[in-house]
Amino acid sequence: MHFSVFKFTMNTLHLSFILHLLHAVAFEEVFPASNSGVISFGNFFPHKDHKLVAATLKDERVESSDECLVRCVQAHGCLSVNVNTTGDDQGLYVCELLASDKYENQSSFIPSKGIEHYSIANPCEKKPCKHRGKCVPFYTNYTYKCKCLEGTLGQDCQIPDFRSCAQRFAAGYTNSGIYEIITPDTSKIDVYCDHGNGEDDSGWTMVFKAVSGVPLQQQGPSVLWLSNSLLESSSSALPINSSSRQHYKNRIVEHWQAFNPTQVRLSLYKNKTEVVRLVFNAKGSTKTNWFSRDRLLTSPWTDIHSQPVKYFSIAGHIWDHGRRTFFINSEYSGCPTDSGWMILVELIPGACTWENHLQHFSVLYSPTNSRVQWSNKDATSVADMMAIYTR
């Protein structure tokens, strides 16, 4: 149902009237009638029990919603109105004349009992913009334009062109799972998108996975990460909660600067449950220097910024009798007293006896909120898997 308002102004003559239940094409035009008058037309669409929270051009007291619509047509720059459906003691209703519309301020258009919002009818009412594109109405000729989010193309944002899981989430694909994206080298590959609990925990694209105890062709996970080799052909390696025990690295790692991540997340899993999450500031980073204490934003270890750190790097410490990578270590003065937070042990047997009960490529970590001594087997835990995500 539309409500249409005409206004005639000819010198001192002023006549306003309402044509209701008019199913005509909606538009708003201004025609010069003479040097002293104009004719205006506005076709309004009602939204019961809703209001737009926005700056007002003017607050009026009117005898009816129809009069409020007339006031809007008369007011320069008025695009919508809020009208109370309950009058005051004098039988007048609050009428808010607004200089914006619900398409410009979608999050500010909210349910509100006892208020009716009227917007000028336009094609955006039919929600033509796909993938959460923003519809911009042009009231003078009853047309619109879609402002597309990154990752979508076309007049109505109908063509998917997603370059990351974050773009997919923004466009309305909010379920975690395996999806196709276009990488910086224009390849189309399947990736695992982790959207967690939504919003702040969404948009993570998995780029790497290392599985404890799984051989890797005479090289360790750190060598795979640091080299330009890829291991992305098997989509069965993608699901985090599957029984697949395959390492994984996709080409995003090798196009780090082009992908331009703002954050990196390193997660450790045990029994298919995330037990450790580290989030790093990745702005302006490379595929190696993001892993540092200076870039660490969040971790479960409350003492990681207060205790001394000997190693905090992907390359870690590699020598003839040991390979300790993705290494976050504190004290490093001898096997019995070595302590830290996380370590990927890539060479067995190693230099210390505490390494020798582990399998090759095991991720050892502190399950507490502080560093642990690596020699204290009861104080440490071995993760089943390490995954690295970007967004």
Residue 111, token pair as written in the block? 């349910």
**Mean pLDDT split into 10-residue runs, the chain, 391 residues:** 47 34 35 36 88 95 95 93 96 96 93 96 94 92 93 93 94 93 94 91 96 79 94 86 86 97 98 96 98 98 97 94 94 95 90 89 96 96 97 97
Q: For residue 83, give the nearest of 75, 70, 74 by alpha carbon.
A: 70
Q: What is the distance of C-alpha 306 from the center of its chain?
A: 32
Q: Evaluate whether 381 touches 195 at the Cβ level (below 8 Å).
A: no
What predicted TM-score, i.e. pTM, was given to this entire model?
0.72
Going along the chain from its start, the domains and CATH numbers come out as 7-121 (3.50.4.10), 125-159 (2.10.25.10), 208-390 (no CATH)
d(CA 54, CA 99): 8
Structure confidence at residue 234 (pLDDT): 84
Backbone torsions φ then ψ of 259, nearest 5 degrees: -70, -35
Q: Would you state the structure tokens that stand for residue 229, as one six-digit string?
A: 């080799």
Separation of alpha carbons 18 and 22, rounded Å: 10
Taking every pair of C-alpha atoms in the chain, what is the biggest distance, in angstroms?
100
